[in-house]
Amino acid sequence: MILTNIESVPGMKIKAQYGVVSGSTVRAKNAFADIGAGLKNVVGGELKSYTELLTEARKEATSRMETQAQMLGANAVINIRYATSAVTSGAAEVYAYGTAVYVEPVGV
């Protein structure tokens, strides 16, 4: 699966498109990570556990989007955008969306 956040796949020609596909997930970290992050907040710096949380959420959302694209028979998702929000405290929501397309190399 080719993923891009531009409107095309360089070196490829878009043969067909299948519309918008999306993936989203809401995740949270356990209480100990929350406490650790709360303490770390005092001295500042990177909150490793929350970075990890965001990474996990992004991966999950992306893979769900890919699943949708695969179900439609696409081999690439272009112009992907990520949006995040905080629904409840300590939880991260990641929403990924893009257009599922079928691409072929130029000149084939």
Partner 1 sequence: MGDLITLAVILLVTYMTGSLIEKAHYRKIKKREKALIGKTMVSYGIKTWDNTKKVKKIELVSGEVVISVDYFKTFAAGLKNLFGGKLNSIESILDRGRREAILRMREKAVGANFIVNTKVEQIMMNDPSNKNEYPKCALIAYGTAITYE
Partner 2 sequence: MVQLLHMNNNIEDKYLKVIEDNVNVSKTGAGTEFLVTISAVAIICFCVFIFSDAIANVVIDNMSDEKQVKIENILTGKDSDFKIVVKHPDKLKYLEETKKRIVKLDKRLQRKSVLKINEIEEKQVNAFVLPNGSIYFTSGLLDKVDNKEALTFVLAHELGHYAHRDHLKSIGRELLSGMILSVISFGNKQVGSTFSSFNNMNYINHSQKQETNADRYANHIMYRLYGKNDGAVEFFRFLKKEEKFPELLYYFSTHPSTEKRLYIIQHSK
**C-alpha to C-alpha distance for 102 and 39, rounded to whole angstroms:** 48
The interface mask with partner 1, positions 36-65, x = CB under 8 A, is: -----------------x------x-----
79 is a contact residue toward partner 1 (CB under 8 A): yes
Q: Which of 97, 105, 106, 74 is nearest to 5 (CA)?
A: 97
Q: How far is the CB of 35 from partner 1 (least distance, A)?
A: 11
75 is a contact residue toward partner 1 (CB under 8 A): no
Task: Please provide the distance, in angstroms rounded to a whole number, between the alpha carbons at the two ends of the chain.
Answer: 19
Residue 86's Cα: distance from chain center in Å? 15
Beta carbon nearer to partner 2, 39 or 43: 39
**C-alpha to C-alpha distance for 65 and 79, rounded to whole angstroms:** 13
Beta carbon nearer to partner 2, 4 or 90: 90
Q: Which of 22, 26, 24, 25 is nearest to 80 (CA)?
A: 22
Q: Which of 41, 51, 67, 85 binds partner 2 (CB under 8 A)?
A: 67
Binding partner at 23 among partner 2, partner 1, none, C-beta below 5 to 8 Å by kind: partner 2
Q: Which of 1, 27, 36, 59 binds partner 1 (CB under 8 A)?
A: 27
